[in-house]
Structure 1
Amino acid sequence: MSLFWRIFLLNAAVLVAAVLLLLGPVTVSTPVLLVEALVIGVGLVVMLVANAVLLRIGLAPLARLTRAMTSADLLRPGSRAAVAGPGEMAELITTYNTMLERLEAERARSSALALSAQEAERQRIAQELHDEVGQTLTAVLLHLKRTADQVPEPLREELHQVQETTRGGLDEIRRIARRLRPGVLEELGLHSALRALAAEFTAPGLTVRHHIAPGLPELDDKRELVVYRVAQESLTNTARHAGARVVDLRLEPGPGGAVDLVVGDDGRGIGGAPEGSGIQGMRERALLIDAGLTLGPSADGGTEVRLRVPATEGKTV
C-alpha cells in the first residue's frame, strides 16, 4: 500500500469513528451544553493525538533516511540507512543505499585517476627541477668559482656571497624535488624514507622522533606511497599549524595483520576547526588502499593522525 493511501485511510478511519459517535451515543443540543462541549473537545484532542501518532509512526523511516542523507560523507564510506517500513518506503531507502554505493565507487575511481595523474606530474616536475634548474645552477656555481679566482680581492668576497646564495637556492630546489618525488622511497624502501622524512622536518624548535617496529608485514608499492604521503602531509600540517615542539612518528603493527602509521604531536590540536584540503587529500589517499584514517587528540594534548593499512600477503620485514 502506498504512503498516500495509508495516510488517507488512517485519517478516514478517525473521521468515520467521529461521525459514528455523533450519530450514535453522542448528541449535541442547541445551545450546546457544557458536558457536550467537553465531550466534543476531548474527542477532538483524541483524534488529533491519534492522527499525530499514526503519522509519526508511518513517516519515521523517512525521517531516518533524511538524517542518513544529511550525514553522508563520501570520504567516510560504508554508512548506510537502515531499510525499514513497508512498500515503497523500503524501496526508497534501498534505492538510496544503492545510489550511495555507486557514488562511492565512482569517487574512488576518479580519485585514483586524479592522484595517479598528480603523482606523475610531481615526478615530471621533480625531474625537470633536477635536470634543468639544478644543472643550470650547478653550472652557475662553477662559473662563479672560476670568476672569483680571477677578480681582484675586493670583488672576491661579494662573489663568494653570491656563490653561497646560489648554493642555498640549489639546496632548496633539491629539497623540493625530493618532496615531489621521494627517490629514497623507490631506492631504499618505506622504512628508510620515513627516517629521512623525520630528519628533514627536524629543525630548531621542532623535534621529530621516529620509531619503526621490526617484523612488520610487507606493503606493496602503492600502499607504501600512500603511507609516505600521509606521513609527509601530517608532518607538514604540524610544522605549519600545530605550534608543536615534539612530534612522534611511528610505524607499528595493527590488528589483523594491518600496519598502523601514527603521527602525534604536543601542539594546540585541531579543536573544532574544519578539515582542510590537506586532510581531505589524506582521506582520499586512504580510500585508494581501503585504509582507515582517523584524527583525534593525542596523549600529549595535540593531534594524532592514525592510518590503518590492511597488509598485502607476503613476508615480514
Structure 2
Amino acid sequence: MDNIYLLIFYSVLAIFILVTFFLLLYIKNQNMVWQQRKLFQETEIAQQKQLLSAVIDSQEIERKRIGEDLHDEVGGTLSAIKLMLNAAMRQYNSADQEVILPAKQLIDKMIVDVRNIAHDLSPPGLAMFGLYTSIEGFVSLINKTGEIEVILSNELKLEEKLLSEKAELALFRVITQLIANTLKHADATKIEIYFKQQENNFEIIYQDNGKGFDVEILNEKKGIGMQNIISRIQMINGIYMLETNINGGFKMEISCPLDTII
C-alpha cells in the first residue's frame, strides 16, 4: 500500500514538474517573441526616422538652392531692371516719368518680395545667429504689416547654442508653419511665442487668440502643414501637446532634449 502511495506521489510530482517546465518554457518563448516584436518595432521606427530625416534633408538642400537662385539670379535681374528704369527716368520729362514710376515701384516691391521668399526658403542668419534671432527677424517682418501682433519672449541666454543646427532649422520650420497656419485660418489678432529651458529640455510655447478648431477633427484628418510640423518635431526626438477648441484659440507646447543631434 505504501508503495502505491509513493508511486502516486512521485507521479503527481513528476506531472507537476513537467507542467511547470512547459509553463516556464512557454513564458520564456513568449518573452522572446515580445522582445523580438519590440526590437522589430524599434528598428522600424528608427528606419522611418532615418527615411524622414533623409527626405527633409533633401528638401532643405532644394530649398537652399532655390533660395540662392531667387536671391542671386532673379533678385539680380530685378535690380538691373530697376537701374535701367532709373536711367530712363533721368532722360525723360516729368510726364513720361509718371508713366515709368508705377513700373519702378512694382519692381521695388518685387525685389523685397523675392528677398523675403529667399530668406524664408533658406534663412541666412540661422547658422550664424541661432534660432531665436532668426525668428525675431521673421516676426519683425510680420509685425510691420500691421495685420497681426506677434509677441516674442525669450528666457534663454542668446549666446548659448543649445541645439544642433539641424534641430534649430527643424524648429524654425515648425514655428514659421505655425505662424502661417494662424495667418491663414485662425482670424487671430495676437500670437505669442515663448522660448525657455526646463531642466534638460528646450521648450517653445506657441499660442494665438484665434477661432481654434476641434481636436478630434484634427486627429481624423491632418493637413499637410500640421503633418510637416509633427514630423519635424518627431525627427528631433521632441514631444508636443496641443490645446485648442472652437473659439478658444490655439496652443502648442514643444519640448525637445538639449542633446538633440540629428
Q: TM-score, normalised by structure 1?
A: 0.66
CA distance in 2, matches of 1:162, 1:207: 32
CA distance in 2, matches of 1:296, 1:103: 30
Deviation track 1:152-191 (CA, whole Å, cap 9, x = no partner) reads 3222111011000011011100010010011121232222
CA distance in 2, matches of 1:197, 1:210: 11
The 1:138–1:242 alpha-carbon spacing in structure 2 relative to 1, beyond 3 Å, is same
Q: TM-score, normalised by structure 2?
A: 0.79
The aligned counterpart of 1:232 is: 176
Query: How many residues are treated as equivalent by the alignment?
Result: 227
Deviation track 1:219-274 (CA, whole Å, cap 9, x = no partner) reads 221221122111111111111111111000110122x3211111100111131233
Match of 2:91 among 139, 147, 150: 150
**Given residue 306 of structure 1, which amino acid in structure 2 is its aligned partner?**
E
**Given residue 264 of structure 1, which amino acid in structure 2 is its aligned partner?**
Q
Q: Note the 1:253-292 alignment, pairs <5 A.
A: 253-254=197-198, 256-271=199-214, 272-273=217-218, 274-292=221-239
CA distance in 2, matches of 1:214, 1:93: 43
CA distance in 2, matches of 1:207, 1:223: 27
Q: Note the 1:146-185 alignment, pairs <5 A.
A: 146-185=87-126
Alignment of 1:304 with 2:251, yes or no, is yes
Q: Note the 1:1-317 alignment, pairs <5 A.
A: 95-202=36-143, 203-215=145-157, 218-254=162-198, 256-271=199-214, 272-273=217-218, 274-297=221-244, 301-312=248-259
**Given residue 124 of structure 1, which amino acid in structure 2 is its aligned partner?**
R
Q: Aligned with 2:125: secondary structure?
A: helix
**Given residue 118 of structure 1, which amino acid in structure 2 is its aligned partner?**
Q
Are 2:151 and 2:193, in contact at CA under 8 Å, matched by a contact in 1? yes
Are 1:217 and 1:257, in contact at CA under 8 Å, matched by a contact in 2? no
Unaligned runs of 5+ in 2: 1-25
Are 1:217 and 1:259, in contact at CA under 8 Å, matched by a contact in 2? no
Q: Aligned with 1:268: secondary structure?
A: coil
Higher relative contact order (CA 8 A, sep 6+): 2
Q: Aligned with 1:156: secondary structure?
A: helix
Question: Over aligned residues, Cα RMSD in angstroms?
Answer: 2.3
CA distance in 2, matches of 1:259, 1:303: 20
Unaligned runs of 5+ in 1: 1-84
Are 1:223 and 1:309, in contact at CA under 8 Å, matched by a contact in 2? no
Identity score, percent: 23
Are 1:227 and 1:261, in contact at CA under 8 Å, matched by a contact in 2? no
Q: CA deviation at 1:93?
A: 5.4
Which protein is bigger by CA-based radius of gyration?
Answer: 1
